[in-house]
């Protein structure tokens, strides 16, 4: 292995009348230049020469790190109004200096960074981009709805194999985490309610409180947020990866409709599975409430179940399931949309996944608010 | 060395040397294990039998610290260039220099400009990889491979996918860098033109033999190799192939 601790021999001699001679010998390359690059120019700054001659005849190894050292010597001397020259330059050194344009005739001067654009230009550009995004978003929504309509008319046109795979990953695989979180939320809700209601002797209403807040409201929202985090991010990253690696372009050139091929199986799987997950979430949350009521409040199991059934109506359950289906559509749609909008490299995949989760949660909350108003006033 | 994927034998008894300062081409048909071989040679994966020595150091036997030290003396150009997409070309080249040297920031900037000058991309320092053509990305990848002035340069298909003119420019660049810097270059390719233009010696792998079927001067291999597989590779005749 080459000796990377090797140091070049450096001799700086004054020849009189501001003329200096710097003789470099040995390796002037990656192994040594980093050490010299600060020291030598600093020494020259202290006593700026009128003429610096660098003698390279005894240089044994030379590379672009060596050229960098010479560059810095040259700049230091010329900054102080002196002249710089090379002497006794071996052919290989000359070749490397030529490669890096040392002479300065073809000096590399990269273009200055683009100046920030005028604020009006930036505003206009951003408006145009937003309008473009807006159009794409609605066109995509239209494509998905039309494709869904086609599936309803021609169920065989759906890729059922892919759909079943997505049903498994979106639905079945999510049951443990949905169940665990729902059980804990049911426990917390019942516990907090019990602490307050016990003061008024109204312990028995814990069952109704848990049932009415979980089944039509919290169950669907919790499930949707978990699905957004688990499956929405997965949809966006899968599709964005396909997008940046030109797989979607390949599908199009083969005559496939990417929406039908990639989006519909995900949308259908989510719309079928999320209401079922929501149902599981309701059951687990009610079980959490039951656990607290039986252990803390001396309520019997049958009493808790009877109060829960009395508090709930079929409409509450169906309303919760309907909301879940809508949330599922929104999650799958916006996540696939973010995947299709990805541009660039690997970082675009991360951005698409993050954006899919944030947009999904925003849409879930927004639509839940709309549903709350609709149910109360209509 | 021996390399397996599960029960599937990829390379069996492959043995050769690379001499200081030479340009060696490793060639062969698709699927013969060229890239598999390179991944072992640069220490990304280990061999299932045998050993690979670089500067006398056995890659399988040396510790992680030793391997890291060795990697600083090796430059690699990947087939896809493997530039980091979120960084500009200049930042890509600066990355290993900033990590492995004590150079001050302004000197790193000057050095990056030099490296980009060497590969003819001086004006593209602030461009993102996605804004460059395939040939430019290859050259930027080469500039990054040269960042620490390596003793050994590994190039995986440096001119694949480029038009003939750009491929010839890339070949000339590789030869020029190797000649002037004295870099040992191991080039994996199946581009005949590159092999003839650049390589001083070649090692040819064969997917059926799962090893080397010929090595030597590629011009002599083309002109007078007694091995039928080598003759077919260098002088493909449509009727024979079909």
Strands (E) in chain B, as ranges, are: 2-5, 8-12, 23-28, 53-54, 57-58, 74-77, 152-156, 184-188, 201-206, 211-216
Segment B146-165 shows an average pLDDT of 88
User: What pLDDT shows up at residue A104?
Assistant: 67
Give the whole-angstrom CA distance, residue A197 versus residue A296.
12
| Domain ranges for chain A | 9-99, 145-377
- Summarize pLDDT for B174-207 with one digit per residue, the tens: 998 898 888 999 999 888 888 888 999 999 999 8
Q: Containing H/E element for A176?
A: helix A175-197
The CA distance from B55 to the nearest CA of chain A, in Å, is: 5
Using a CB-CB cut-off of 8 Å, the residues of chain B touching A64 are 111, 114-115, 118, 146, 149, 181
- Summarize pLDDT for A249-261 with one digit per residue, the tens: 888 888 888 999 9
Which A-chain residues 93-132 have CB contacts (< 8 A) with chain B?
A: 95-96, 99-101, 108-111, 113
Binned at pLDDT 50, 70 and 90, residue B165 comes out as confident
User: What pLDDT shows up at residue B63?
Assistant: 79
Residues sharing a CB contact under 8 Å with residue B209, sequence separation 6 or more, in sequence order: B229
- Summarize pLDDT for B101-128 with one digit per residue, the tens: 888 888 899 999 999 988 888 889 999 9
What are the structure tokens assigned to B195, written together?
A: 């092999």
pLDDT of residue B169 exceeding 80: yes
User: What pLDDT shows up at residue A197?
Assistant: 87
User: What pLDDT shows up at residue A172?
Assistant: 95
Which B-chain residues 61-90 have CB contacts (< 8 A) with chain A?
A: 70, 73, 84-86, 90
- Summarize pLDDT for A85-141 with one digit per residue, the tens: 888 899 888 888 888 888 764 444 555 555 677 888 889 988 998 898 889 999 999
| B180 CB within 8 Å of a chain A CB | yes
Average pLDDT of chain A is: 88
What are the structure tokens assigned to A73, written together?
A: 């010597």
More confident residue, B122 or B24: B24
pLDDT of residue B130 exceeding 90: no
Give the whole-angstrom CA distance, residue A122 versus residue A131.
14
The CA distance from B238 to the nearest CA of chain A, in Å, is: 29
Give the DSSP per-residue string, A35-83. Answer: HHHHHHHHHHHHS--SEEEEEEEEEEEE-HHHHHHHHHHHHHHHHTT-E
User: What pLDDT shows up at residue B104?
Assistant: 86
User: What pLDDT shows up at residue A92?
Assistant: 86
Binned at pLDDT 50, 70 and 90, residue A337 comes out as very high
Of B56, B104, B177, the CB nearest to A1: B56
Segment B149-161 shows an average pLDDT of 89
Q: Containing H/E element for B90?
A: helix B89-100
Q: What is the dihedral of CA B90, B91, B92, B98, to 10 degrees?
A: 110
* DSSP letter, residue B21: T
Give the DSSP per-residue string, A111-170. Answer: PPPPPPPPHHHHHHHHHHHHHHHHHHHHHHHHHHHHHHHHHHH-GGGS-HHHHHHHHHHH
Considering A197-211, A228-242, B49-63, B159-173, the range whose residues carry the highest mean pLDDT is A228-242
Which chain B residue has the Cα nearest residue A71?
B110
Segment A40-64 shows an average pLDDT of 87
Of A1, A95, A345, the CB nearest to B55: A1
Interchain pair A37, B107: CB under 8 A: yes
The SS3 assignment for A181 reads helix
Query: Which of A1-10, A78-87, B20-29, B60-69 bottoms out in mean pLDDT, i.e. has the lowest?
Result: A1-10
Segment B135-158 shows an average pLDDT of 92
Give the whole-angstrom CA distance, residue B76 versus residue B81.
9
User: What pLDDT shows up at residue B140?
Assistant: 93
What are the structure tokens assigned to A338, written together?
A: 């973010």
Give the DSSP per-residue string, B160-179. Answer: TTS-HHHHHHHHHHHHHHHH
- Summarize pLDDT for A264-290 with one digit per residue, the tens: 999 999 999 999 999 999 999 999 999
Interchain pair A64, B148: CB under 8 A: no
Closest CA to B214 of B235, B231, B195: B231
Number of neighbouring beta carbons within 10 Å of residue B235: 12
Binned at pLDDT 50, 70 and 90, residue A26 comes out as confident
Using a CB-CB cut-off of 8 Å, the residues of chain B touching A2 are 55, 73, 151
What are the structure tokens assigned to B118, written together?
A: 């060497």
Closest CA to A334 of A272, A263, A251, A283: A263
- Summarize pLDDT for A180-237 with one digit per residue, the tens: 999 999 999 999 998 888 888 888 889 999 999 999 999 999 999 999 999 999 999 9
Domain architecture of chain B: domains with CATH = 2-73+151-241 (3.40.50.300), 83-149 (no CATH)
What are the structure tokens assigned to A148, written together?
A: 């869904």
Average pLDDT of chain B is: 88
User: What pLDDT shows up at residue B240?
Assistant: 55
| B125 CB within 8 Å of a chain A CB | yes
Q: Residue A223: which region, alpha, beta or left (left: phi > 0; alpha: psi -120 to 50)?
A: alpha
pLDDT of residue A5 exceeding 90: no
Q: Which CATH architecture has domain A9-99?
A: 2-Layer Sandwich (3.30)
Give the whole-angstrom CA distance, residue B196 versus residue B202.
10
User: What pLDDT shows up at residue A1?
Assistant: 42
């Amino acid at each position: 292995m080459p000796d990377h601790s090797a140091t070049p021999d450096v001799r700086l001699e004054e020849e009189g009348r501001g003329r200096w001679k710097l003789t470099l010998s040995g390796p002037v390359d990656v192994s040594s230049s980093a050490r010299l690059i600060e020291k030598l120019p600093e020494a020259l700054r202290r006593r700026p020469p009128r003429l610096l001659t660098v003698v390279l005849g005894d240089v044994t190894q030379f590379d672009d790190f060596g050229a960098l050292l010479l560059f810095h010597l040259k700049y230091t001397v010329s900054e102080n109004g002196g002249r710089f020259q090379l002497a006794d330059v071996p052919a290989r050194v000359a070749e490397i200096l030529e490669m890096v344009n040392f002479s300065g005739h073809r000096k590399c001067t990269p273009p200055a960074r683009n100046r920030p654009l005028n604020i009006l230009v930036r505003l206009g550009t951003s408006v145009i981009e937003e309008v473009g995004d807006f159009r794409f978003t609605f066109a995509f929504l239209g494509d998905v709805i039309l494709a869904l309509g086609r599936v309803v008319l021609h169920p065989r046109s759906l890729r059922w194999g892919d759909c079943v795979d997505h049903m498994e990953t979106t639905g079945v695989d999510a049951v443990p985490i949905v169940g665990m979180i729902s059980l804990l939320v049911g426990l917390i809700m019942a516990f907090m309610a019990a602490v307050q209601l016990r003061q008024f002797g109204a312990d028995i209403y814990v069952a109704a409180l848990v049932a009415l807040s979980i089944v039509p409201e919290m169950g669907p929202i919790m499930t949707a947020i978990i699905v957004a985090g688990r499956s929405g991010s997965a949809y966006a990253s899968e599709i964005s990866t396909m997008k940046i690696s030109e797989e979607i372009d390949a599908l199009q050139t083969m005559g496939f409709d990417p929406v039908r091929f990639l989006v519909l199986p995900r949308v259908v799987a989510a719309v079928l599975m999320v209401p079922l997950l929501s149902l599981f979430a309701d059951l687990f949350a009610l079980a959490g409430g039951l656990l607290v009521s039986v252990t803390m409040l001396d309520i019997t199991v049958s009493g808790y179940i009877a109060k829960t059934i009395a508090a709930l109506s079929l409409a509450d359950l169906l309303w919760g399931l309907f909301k879940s289906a809508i949330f599922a559509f929104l999650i799958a749609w916006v996540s696939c949309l973010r995947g299709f909008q990805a541009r660039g490299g690997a970082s675009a995949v991360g951005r698409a996944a993050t954006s899919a989760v944030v947009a999904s949660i925003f849409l879930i909350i927004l639509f839940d608010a709309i549903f709350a108003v609709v149910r109360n006033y209509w | 060395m021996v390399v397996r994927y599960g029960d599937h034998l990829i390379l069996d008894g492959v043995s050769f040397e690379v001499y200081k300062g030479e340009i060696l081409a490793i060639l062969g048909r698709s699927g013969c294990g060229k890239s598999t071989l390179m991944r072992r040679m640069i220490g990304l994966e280990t061999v299932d039998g045998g050993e690979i020595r670089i500067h006398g150091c056995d890659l399988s036997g040396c510790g992680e610290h030793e391997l890291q030290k060795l990697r600083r003396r090796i430059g690699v150009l990947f087939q896809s260039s493997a530039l980091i997409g979120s960084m500009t070309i200049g930042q890509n080249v600066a990355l290993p220099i900033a990590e492995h040297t004590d150079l001050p920031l302004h000197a790193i900037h000057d050095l990056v400009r030099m490296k980009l000058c060497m590969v003819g991309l001086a004006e593209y320092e602030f461009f993102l990889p996605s804004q460059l053509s395939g040939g430019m990305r290859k050259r930027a990848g080469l500039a990054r491979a040269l960042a620490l002035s390596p003793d050994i340069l590994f190039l995986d298909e440096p001119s694949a996918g480029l038009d003939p003119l750009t491929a010839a420019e890339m070949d000339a660049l590789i030869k020029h860098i190797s000649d002037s810097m004295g870099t040992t270059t191991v080039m994996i390719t199946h581009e005949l033109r590159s092999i003839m233009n650049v390589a001083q010696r070649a090692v040819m792998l064969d997917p059926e033999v799962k090893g080397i079927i010929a090595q030597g001067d590629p011009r002599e291999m083309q002109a007078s190799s007694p091995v039928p597989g080598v003759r077919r590779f260098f002088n493909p005749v449509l009727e024979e192939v079909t």
